[in-house]
């Protein structure tokens, strides 16, 4: 079920009414309702894969219970590894089986040996990368004794399958989300209103920005051989805003929907395209994944505690694994490798924690130095998105070669009035995000009564834009991951 579909527009109010007006007196029944609603939400895509979610839920729940009773260090490690192997085993089979088989065959062919192996027609379960990491966070934190294992199976099942963030995050930690299922929730009007505004902005990002940028990005990337460098650069820009509007839009809708039900999810995007270097960008982009890898991979490897070479190794490991998490394609690994190369000088020079505040705090515009840093970081990011979007590394290299050729200085061949209008819409969108960069989301306005008319005028403009620019609902990009 898509957030931007009629099905969800019907589904959400029904669950909301049942949740607050029918089951509100009984916490357990509320949680059961959320489990049922989440399974319906996911099952409408493909009910067969509900068994995977249920199996992961059962495995990690009972391993958590076993860990609570076990003090022997070796046995505790064994239980942890059972959880890791089972969860990553499912993820590896469904997401990476054909990748490894195809590359294994290709490796043998380099030596003139023909090796026969069967590729499978495997359907990738939507959201498997997200809920796998979510359940693993529970087992690891219980193993580390950072979290008391739960004996409430319903609450745990609701935590694993919570429908707002089930298929594309944010990847919630058990330490943050699970305890919220234990406590009685009370409807808070101001939180519900703020959540509704965040949902509205998420829909704007997805429908108005991402889906419209996708029209041009898809055409240009799919036919890049026929376009000039200037047009390819324009296509890279369109994809840059498409993926941001698409993914951060999903996160906004997920976080806003959760607030309607009395839950608080962690922020997943913090206006990343206003970053002043790549390190700041990665603190602001897909925050839940970046911090997951930091806490469960980077720090256990030694983090930044060792010597220079240890830091370099750990940095490349974290970025390469992050790239591979996104998909079974060498383009994602190249994307991770390039980002690691960007990050490395900042780490070595100890400048990776230089920018932790909001850019141009309390100012309307950044100064010249800040603007230069923002623009430079943005263009470096655009280059990496070419690898992320391209079908093969060869395509990505050819795409960039044409961008940096003489044809870059020609007029793009796809310029139309409609395209110019959509570019203006993107500029307005980024201007609004800039003005709201110190907020949780762009529609988090002051509630002062004297500004009520202006707020409602702006909300109606956003709704009107969604209606005008909206077309057939498109899947979110991160469903494939």
Residues 6+ apart with CB under 8 A from 437: 271, 274, 358, 359
In contact, 338 and 384? CB cutoff 8 Å: yes
Catalytic-residue membership of 286: no
| From 26, 326, 373, 441, the catalytic residue | 326
Per this entry, what is the length of the chain? 481
Q: Which of the residues are catalytic?
A: 326
């Amino acid at each position: 079920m898509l957030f931007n579909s009629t099905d969800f527009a019907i589904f959400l109010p029904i669950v909301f009414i049942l949740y607050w007006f029918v089951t509100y007196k009984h916490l357990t029944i509320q949680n059961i309702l959320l489990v049922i609603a989440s399974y319906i939400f996911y099952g409408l895509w493909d009910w067969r894969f509900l068994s995977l979610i249920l199996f992961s839920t059962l495995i990690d729940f009972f391993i958590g219970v076993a860990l609570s009773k076990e003090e022997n260090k070796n046995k505790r490690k064994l239980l942890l590894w059972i959880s890791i192997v089972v969860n990553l085993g499912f993820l590896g089979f469904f997401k990476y089986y054909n990748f490894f088989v195809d590359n294994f065959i290709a490796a043998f062919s380099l030596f003139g040996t023909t090796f026969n192996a069967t590729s499978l027609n495997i359907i990738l379960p939507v959201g498997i990368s997200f809920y796998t990491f979510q359940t693993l966070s529970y087992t690891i934190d219980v193993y580390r004794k950072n979290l008391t294992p739960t004996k409430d199976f319903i609450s745990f099942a609701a935590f694993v399958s919570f429908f707002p963030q089930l298929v594309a995050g944010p990847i919630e930690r058990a330490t943050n989300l699970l305890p919220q299922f234990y406590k009685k929730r009370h409807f808070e009007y101001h939180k519900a209103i703020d959540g509704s505004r965040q949902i509205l902005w998420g829909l704007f990002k997805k429908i108005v920005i991402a889906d419209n940028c996708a029209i041009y990005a898809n055409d240009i990337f799919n036919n890049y051989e026929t376009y000039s460098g200037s047009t390819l650069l324009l296509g890279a820009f369109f994809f840059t805003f498409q993926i941001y509007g698409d993914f951060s839009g999903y996160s906004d809708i997920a976080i806003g929907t959760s607030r309607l039900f009395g839950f608080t999810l962690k922020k997943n995007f913090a206006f990343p395209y206003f970053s002043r270097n790549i390190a700041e960008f990665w603190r602001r982009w897909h925050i839940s994944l970046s911090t997951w890898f930091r806490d469960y991979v980077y720090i256990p490897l030694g983090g930044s505690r060792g010597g220079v070479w240890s830091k370099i190794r750990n940095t490349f490991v974290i970025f390469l694994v992050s790239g591979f998490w996104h998909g079974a394609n060498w383009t994602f690994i190249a994307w991770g490798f390039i980002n690691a190369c960007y990050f490395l000088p900042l780490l070595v020079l100890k400048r990776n924690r230089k920018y932790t505040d909001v850019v141009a705090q309390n100012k309307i515009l950044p100064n010249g130095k800040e603007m230069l840093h923002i623009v430079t970081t943005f263009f470096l990011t655009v280059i990496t998105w070419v690898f992320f979007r391209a079908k093969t590394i060869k395509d990505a290299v050819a795409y960039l070669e044409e961008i940096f050729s003489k044809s870059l200085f020609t007029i793009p061949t796809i310029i139309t009035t409609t395209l110019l209008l959509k570019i203006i819409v993107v500029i307005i969108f980024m201007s609004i995000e800039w003005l709201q960069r110190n907020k949780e989301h762009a529609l988090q306005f002051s509630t002062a009564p004297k500004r009520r008319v202006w707020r409602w005028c702006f909300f109606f403009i956003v709704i009107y834009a969604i209606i005008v620019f909206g077309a057939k609902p498109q899947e979110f990009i991160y469903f494939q991951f």
